[in-house]
Structure 1
Amino acid sequence: MSTTESPKRDKWQWETATAGAAAGFATVAVMHPLDVVRTRFQVNDGRVSHLPRYNNTAHAIFSIARSEGLRGLYAGFLPGVLGSTISWGLYFFFYDKAKQRYARNREEKLTPGLHLASAAEAGAIVSLCTNPVWLVKTRLQLQTPLHQTRPYSGLYDAFKTIMKEEGFSAFYRGIVPSLFLQVSHGAIQFTAYEELRNIFVDLKSRGSTVHRENPDQLLNSVDYAVLGASSKIAAILLSYPFQVIRSRLQQRPGGDGVPRYIDSWHVVKETARFEGVRGFYKGITPNLLKNAPASSITFIVYENVLKLLKLARKE
């Protein structure tokens, strides 16, 4: 690689990171109440006394709004925004960087396997960097008026209290299912997105005078919305049990300081024993309602911000 190519490539990677961060922020700002509902469904195994019972997604939203107000619907919003913005920024950055590395000395397009490897690699790095933020978000979302333990007053208080009461290792509770989740979910989603994107470009380029090497000119926001939602649904259906396992592990310990679940295997055994397969898919309805349109928003923002940054760079 020449010295003139390297700065351009580095600049391109920062552009993808910026676009990813903007996409992540937009996603959380719009869809956070459904994220709160999903988390509460995920950990409610029928034996948790401090969580209200909800009949369905709509009932949960109205119940939280009535008893906890807007603050309840947006519990954990700050770490949610922080985690999502950082995650998407880092994810797109490392995903693009991995694709560029695999594409060296290759004139043809990357294979689905290399797209999968790129996404898995990015997912693992992001998971290790952001697990503490997701743990705090989960705990803030699970705080209700029925909670007997002193509630965290906010993001900083949560970090400080967890460090004092449980130590640094507590921030990495749920890291094993989180790694599986990030690697599998991201790999499935981005591989599906790339392959579907290629199909869309192929279909549109057949009747277009625009060269297929410029897909940005062929695809529009509606295309990105369909691509984002479709790839997200495929990823959710296949990787959702890891989310349930992670959420249950990240719950705050009771007054005696003992965690409800010891490790991932303990969650799997207890969930299978008392709830069956259905237990591993608790909260999937609000999750789909949140993430299918959220992924559309994410990729619309990402692709369009990327277009703007490209135009600005050319100018």
Structure 2
Amino acid sequence: MSASSEKWQWENATAGAVAGFATVAAMHPLDVVRTRFQVNDGRVSNIPTYKNTANAIFTIARSEGLRGLYAGFSPAVLGSTVSWGLYFFFYDRAKQRYSRNRAEKLSPGHHLASAAEAGALVCLCTNPIWLVKTRLQLQNPLHQTRPYSGFYDALRTIMREEGWIALYRGIVPGLFLQVSHGAIQFTAYEELRKVLIDLKSGKNTEKSGSSDTPLNSFDYAALGASSKIVAMLLSYPFQVIRARLQQRPCNEGVPRYMDSLHVVKDTARFEGLRGFYRGITPNLLKNVPAASITFIVYENVLNLLKSARRKH
């Protein structure tokens, strides 16, 4: 691999990491609300219930303060920054591999395969971080003998009480989620991006005879939001399954759900299809603008890094 290719990949990773951090910092309270809605199956009394997203934010702020709204913020920042950095890195490597010795542009199938590969690798690397984040967001001191004091305490406690394998609870729906969600989102993003560039190229060529059509931040925002909505609606049930699997066991050490099939059967039996979409409203409120922020930051940081590289 050439030195210029390696630089390009690390530029993608850096842009992705910065984008991930910006996204989490702006949207974390909605992530807390979403997680609490996801695990509330209506059959466990120690989980708080909320009427809607606004009521949840107000109730958490009143009873737990800012700390409650930003529960699990450290692993969320770490996980999102690492995930986006690795995702763009693996995604770009896969695209380069598929495009090797090919004169034509990559097909939608190649974009799909690249995104699926990147999603699977990221999931294997980051599942322990997301498990800790979920547990910190769900903590209720009134119903737990000793809440985790933070990220590292949670890791140590889980390893001591449940073993290292517990860090990979939810890995199966997590893999399905990462592969399907990322693949759908990035394929939709790339294809919509092509359409938008073609449309703008036609307009610019008609007006000035120039085919130079850089997209602006508004374009990136629209592309990010549109691709995110498509991916979210199709893959959201995997998020619910993963969140329910990652709950902390009760005081006797018994998990609420034993495996993914247990979650699917109980959710379908007691809640129906609606149960697989619990928390979808705060998830939309969080992730649609978050996707816009992510791709605005990613594309602009990437352009900045490319400009700096050309100057040197």
- Say how many residue pairs are matched: 308
Pick from 106, 109, 126 the counterpart of residue 110 of structure 1.
106
Residues 51 and 146 in structure 1, CA contact (< 8 A), matched pair in contact too: no
The one-character-per-residue Cα deviations of 1:104-125 (angstroms, maximum 9, x if unpaired) are 1111110000000000000000
Cα deviation, 1:215-263, whole Å, max 9, x if unaligned, reads: xx52000000000000000000000000000000000000000101000
Partner of 2:183: 187
1:306 maps to amino acid? L
Map of 1:147 onto structure 2: 143
Is there any run of 5+ residues in structure 2 with no aligned partner, and where?
A: none
Q: 1:138 aligns with which of 110, 113, 134?
A: 134
Distance 2:134 2:263 in 1: 16
Deviates more, 1:156-165 or 1:203-212: 203-212
Between the aligned residues of both structures, percent identity stands at 79
2:30 alignment partner in structure 1 = 34
State how far apart, in whole Å, the 2-side matches of 1:280 and 1:52 are.
18
CA deviation map 1:185-223 (0-9, x unaligned): 0000000000000000000001225865x6xx5200000
After the TM superposition, which of the residue ranges 138-147 and 271-280 deviates more from structure 2? 138-147
Q: Which amino acid aligns with 1:161?
A: T
Q: CA deviation at 1:147?
A: 2.6
Matched, 1:19 2:11: no
Query: In structure 1, which of residues 207, 231, 243 is the aligned counterpart of residue 203 of structure 2?
Result: 207
2:279, 2:20 → 1: CA distance?
21
Cα distance, 1:145 vs structure 2: 3.8
In structure 1, distance between residues paired with 2:143 and 2:177: 28
Task: Report the counterpart of residue 174 of structure 1 in structure 2.
Answer: 170
Instruction: Please report how far the alpha carbon of residue 51 of structure 1 lies from its aligned counterpart in structure 2 after TM superposition.
Output: 1.5
Q: Indicate yes or no: 2:283 matched with 1:312.
A: no
With structure 2 as the length reference, what TM-score do the two structures score? Answer: 0.97
1:131 CA drift (Å) = 0.1
Deviates more, 1:36-45 or 1:48-57: 48-57
Among candidates 218, 230, 235, match of residue 226 of structure 2: 230
CA contact (8 A) 2:134 2:247 kept: yes
Q: Mark the CA change 1:104 to 1:211 in structure 2 (over 3 Å): closer, same or farther.
A: farther
Letter in 2 for 1:144: N
Does structure 2 retain, via aligned residues, the 8 Å contact 1:23–1:297?
A: yes
SS at match of 1:207: helix
Which residue of structure 2 lines up, in the alignment, with residue 274 of structure 1?
Answer: 270
- For residues 66-99 of structure 1, give each alpha carbon's deviation from its aligned partner in whole angstroms, at most 9, with x where no partner exists: 0000000000000000000000000000000000
AA of the residue aligned to 1:100 = Q
Deviates more, 1:48-57 or 1:247-256: 48-57
Equivalent residue number for residue 58 of structure 2: 62
Partner AA of 1:169 in structure 2: I
AA of the residue aligned to 1:235:
A
CA contact (8 A) 2:76 2:130 kept: yes
Write out per-residue CA displacement over residues 234-293 of structure 1, whole angstroms, 9 at most, x where no aligned residue: 000000000000000000000000101000000000000100000000000000000000
Matched residue type, 2:157? T
Residue 151 of structure 1, CA deviation: 0.3
After TM superposition, the structure 1 = structure 2 runs for residues 239-258 of structure 1, keeping only pairs within 5 Å, are: 239-258=235-254
1:88 alignment counterpart: 84
Whether the 8 Å CA contact 1:149–1:254 is kept in 2: the answer is: no
Across the aligned residues of Structure 1 and Structure 2, the Cα RMSD in angstroms comes to 1.1
Contact 2:141 2:147 in 1 (8 A): no
